[in-house]
């Protein structure tokens, strides 16, 4: 039963990672023009990033269009003040490490005939990065020291202009995903203080398939209506590597049914494998744009269908005792509101403003330090410039993450998984795209 004890303990650790992977960290940063307008772009969809925002829009683009870009994300570490299972009942503070990310995007479209266009896009619809400063002293190390998730989607797309009012588009989505987690195993010492008994590193990757479609209506020259849908991804991670190191053989604390960590793991290192499926949610957007002379205004409602994320199952394939289990999450569907506008000052120069409201899908009783999510307000500004066949788009977005207080600690002496306290955070994004029309 030694392996069974080890795997039972690792299940809780690994679920901290996978719950973070499938939580509220959708990334709509697939275009600087859209970001400048708060991502209110589904009804306009008039540059190559329409492959992401509404594929029906690419039939509006003449010739062959190429657009590449990147979003720079500066994520100052969220601050926590409160009690965890490792603070001994005392209120303490912890700050995540300041991190920087780059989110890429690339699109190519071609108008093959007056009523038909096709293209391909590359973008990152989901992603996460969190890290705590000190892996041996932070008050969440039994749940997470560091977590990283990367997803990339390749999206071939076609679009048809049915008539002067209606256009439709659709695509196939292939996703590659990679995830990594670092944690520290902790046990109470002889005086009740927490003692590190091992470190854990998990890494795995996988693939998934999905689809998307969109509709674009132009009932009058001043009004556009757009709708798009992207299916959920069942990202299957098979045989992820689990490495346990720095296993304590000095303190000899009996933590597994009277056995020490070194006895249970059979030495100072241990390797195994685990598999899971991450259910990344379906999304849908409905937008209305009003266009008059040089001014464009748009409002979008954006749904993320987290209801499919009720629980997460994990399968260990270590013999002779396979261990399957699951943990409750029960995320809720949310609707975000995007509002944006563009004013074309001159034919080459456009200025943009946007606002976005994103409610959190994360219930308080299942929230963890791997993703301390909260309602967010986004404020954006941007500019676009055309020079001959070139286009240049630049945008900035400020993320105001609302303070969130959670009390899900059942017992300060025995509950090592939850916490009572308040989280605070913010973020900054800068996007830049370059486009060329052949």
Asked whether the predicted pLDDT for residue 134 surpasses 60, the reply is: yes
Q: What percent of the chain has pLDDT over 70?
A: 88
Write the class of the CATH domain 2-68+98-370: mainly beta
Mean of all residue pLDDT scores within the chain: 85
As a whole number of angstroms, the distance between CA 124 and CA 217 comes to: 27
Beta carbons within 8 Å of 46's beta carbon, 6+ residues apart: 57, 60, 61
Among 16-30, 246-260, 305-319, 370-384, the range of highest mean pLDDT: 370-384
Beta carbons within 8 Å of 140's beta carbon, 6+ residues apart: 80, 84, 86, 94, 132, 369, 419
User: Higher pLDDT residue, 132 or 25?
Assistant: 132
For position 294, what pLDDT does the model report?
95
As a whole number of angstroms, the distance between CA 133 and CA 168 comes to: 48
Q: Output the pTM of the full model.
A: 0.86
pLDDT tens profile 4-54: 444 444 444 333 333 332 235 788 889 999 999 999 999 999 999 999 999
For position 192, what pLDDT does the model report?
66
For position 22, what pLDDT does the model report?
29
- Enumerate the domain spans of the chain: 2-68+98-370
Nearest Cα to Cα of residue 77 among 146, 30, 18: 146
The answer to whether the CB of 144 falls within 8 A of the CB of 130 is yes
The answer to whether the CB of 179 falls within 8 A of the CB of 17 is yes
């Amino acid at each position: 039963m030694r392996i069974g004890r080890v795997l039972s303990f690792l299940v809780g650790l690994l679920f901290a990672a996978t719950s973070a992977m499938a939580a509220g960290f959708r990334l709509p940063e697939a275009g600087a023009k859209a970001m400048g307008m708060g991502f209110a772009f589904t009804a306009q969809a008039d540059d190559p990033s329409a492959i992401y925002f509404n594929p029906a829009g690419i039939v509006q683009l003449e010739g062959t269009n190429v657009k590449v870009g990147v979003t720079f994300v500066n994520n100052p570490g969220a601050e926590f003040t409160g009690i965890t299972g490792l603070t001994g009942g005392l209120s303490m503070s912890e700050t995540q490490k300041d991190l920087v990310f780059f989110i890429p995007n690339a699109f190519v479209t071609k108008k093959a005939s007056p009523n038909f266009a096709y293209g391909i896009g590359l973008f990152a619809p989901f992603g996460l990065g969190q890290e705590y400063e000190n892996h041996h002293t932070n008050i969440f190390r039994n749940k997470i020291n560091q977590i990283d998730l990367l997803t990339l989607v390749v999206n071939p797309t076609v679009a048809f202009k049915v008539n002067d009012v209606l256009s439709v588009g659709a695509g196939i989505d292939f996703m590659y995903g990679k995830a990594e987690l670092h944690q520290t195993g902790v046990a109470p010492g002889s005086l009740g203080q927490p003692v590190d008994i091992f470190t854990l590193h998990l890494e795995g990757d996988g693939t998934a398939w999905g689809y998307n479609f969109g509709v674009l209506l132009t009932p009058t020259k001043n009004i556009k209506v757009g709708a798009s849908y992207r299916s959920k991804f069942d990202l299957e991670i098979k045989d992820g590597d689990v490495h346990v190191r720095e296993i304590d053989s000095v303190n000899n604390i009996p933590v597994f049914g009277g056995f020490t960590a070194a006895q249970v793991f059979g030495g100072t290192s241990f390797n195994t494998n685990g598999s899971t499926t991450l259910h990344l949610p379906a999304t849908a957007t409905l937008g209305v744009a009003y266009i008059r002379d040089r001014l464009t205004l748009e409002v979008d409602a954006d749904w993320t269908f987290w209801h499919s994320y009720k629980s997460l199952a994990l399968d260990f394939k270590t013999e002779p005792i396979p261990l399957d289990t699951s943990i409750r999450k029960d995320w809720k569907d949310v609707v975000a509101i995007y509002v944006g506008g563009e004013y074309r000052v001159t034919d080459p120069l456009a200025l943009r403003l946007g606002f976005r409201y994103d409610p959190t899908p994360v219930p308080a009783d299942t929230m963890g330090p791997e993703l301390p999510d909260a309602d967010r307000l986004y404020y954006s500004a941007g500019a676009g410039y055309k020079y001959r066949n070139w286009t240049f788009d630049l945008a900035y977005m400020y993320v105001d993450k609302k303070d969130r207080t959670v009390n899900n600690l059942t017992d300060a002496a025995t509950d090592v998984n939850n916490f009572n306290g308040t989280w605070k955070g913010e973020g900054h994004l800068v996007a830049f795209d370059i486009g060329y029309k052949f």
